[in-house]
A and B are shown apart, each in its own frame.
Chain A
């Protein structure tokens, strides 16, 4: 009786090569990450002073129609600190928030004083609070001070908002996406940006706990000056 010899299958290596493969992979990835960061350092993006302000693209109302608005399209990337480029005042509101309702007056005053040197942008969010149910019609009416009942937690007609009609862009953030990117949980909030989009003043830092109490008008005077 003939005996058939079983064909032996190739065997793997005695040592586990996966440790070496893992170390090699980690080395290569580290190298790629280091080179990438050398080519373009990771910028600090966020609402804190000194950081690049979180950018956004959203629908904005200019008094006549809604169109796409991108904050960074208006930056002066070559700003050197001395040119006459325009700064930015970013305001977050909710058309149903009582503090935002009264802040309408202050914003009108600030704009009449600084509007020629500062780009005003208001972002209309919709806080997750009962009776805070905004929509584009309400945002339009809040900005233009036209008749629409539903502002200020559905207590007032938007035409009664304190202050004059606002003639700067109102950005729709009904989904609270921009609010989230700016790490905000409430309104009103204001920030002043340098012409290249760097956050120069953050309301929560100055008027929050431990802040120096500086208000937005004083900050504009200090930063933009000339008034």
Chain B
């Protein structure tokens, strides 16, 4: 098991853990401090999502021309049969990693805008947008989990980096939910 946890994976897991901690801490905090805390947590989740997506895209590119040293290619927990699968590693020819980078970039932009100006006129609209954009990723996460568990060559497999990105998205959805709740109940600031 320890062999599976490489340095990049450990860094992503630490990023997720810190983000979860920030979210739990900020969730019950009142006023502007709580809102900023949740925004910080969601920035952590989306940063992990962006970097994790970049990493899986690199694995994807390296696997097109052979095996990759960036992730295990054997066993239950591995990337080879998931990111390396020509049938399932893309959406209409676009690698999932690249789709992840683009999606988390949009999420990051919305969060950063809110973080930079909590009281902007567009803040309510951006909170709603953040919630719906992150929520739109959930069906894709479910689909990809089904793919890696049942459809890829030699299934089931669990791709650790993909799982990190899925967790980052779910963390973003939770953060967006709490932000929206704060906005709607008047406890934003």
Residue B7 lies at the interface, judged by CB distance under 8 Å to chain A: no
A29 and B53 alpha carbons, distance in the complex (Å): 11
Are A24 and B112 in touch, CB under 8 angstroms?
Answer: yes
Report which of B86, B101, B116 forms a contact with A17, defined as CB distance below 8 A.
B116
Q: Please give me the residue from chain B that is nearest to A42 by CB atom.
A: B61
Q: In the assembled complex, which residues on chain A have CB atoms less than 8 Å from the CB atom of B116?
A: 13, 17, 20-21
- Quick check: which of A32-40, A91-99, A184-192 contacts chain B, the rest being far away? A32-40
Within 8 A of A (CB), among B32-84: 50-51, 53-55, 57-62, 64-68, 70
State the majority secondary structure of interface residues on B: helix
Q: In the assembled complex, which residues on chain A have CB atoms less than 8 Å from the CB atom of B53?
A: 32
The 8 A CB mask of A59-96 against B (1 = contact, 0 = none) is 00000000010101001010000000000000000000
Interface range for B: 35 or more
Q: In the assembled complex, which residues on chain A have CB atoms less than 8 Å from the CB atom of B118?
A: 10, 12
The 8 A CB mask of A5-27 against B (1 = contact, 0 = none) is 00001111100111011101100
Known: A25-B105, A52-B65. 5 other contacts (CB 8 A): A12-B118, A36-B61, A39-B62, A40-B68, A41-B61
A: residues with CB less than 8 A from B are 9-13, 16-18, 20-22, 24-25, 28-29, 32-33, 35-37, 39-43, 45, 52, 54-57, 68, 70, 72, 75, 77, 196-197
B: residues with CB less than 8 A from A are 50-51, 53-55, 57-62, 64-68, 70, 85-87, 97, 101, 105, 108-109, 112-113, 116-123, 153, 189
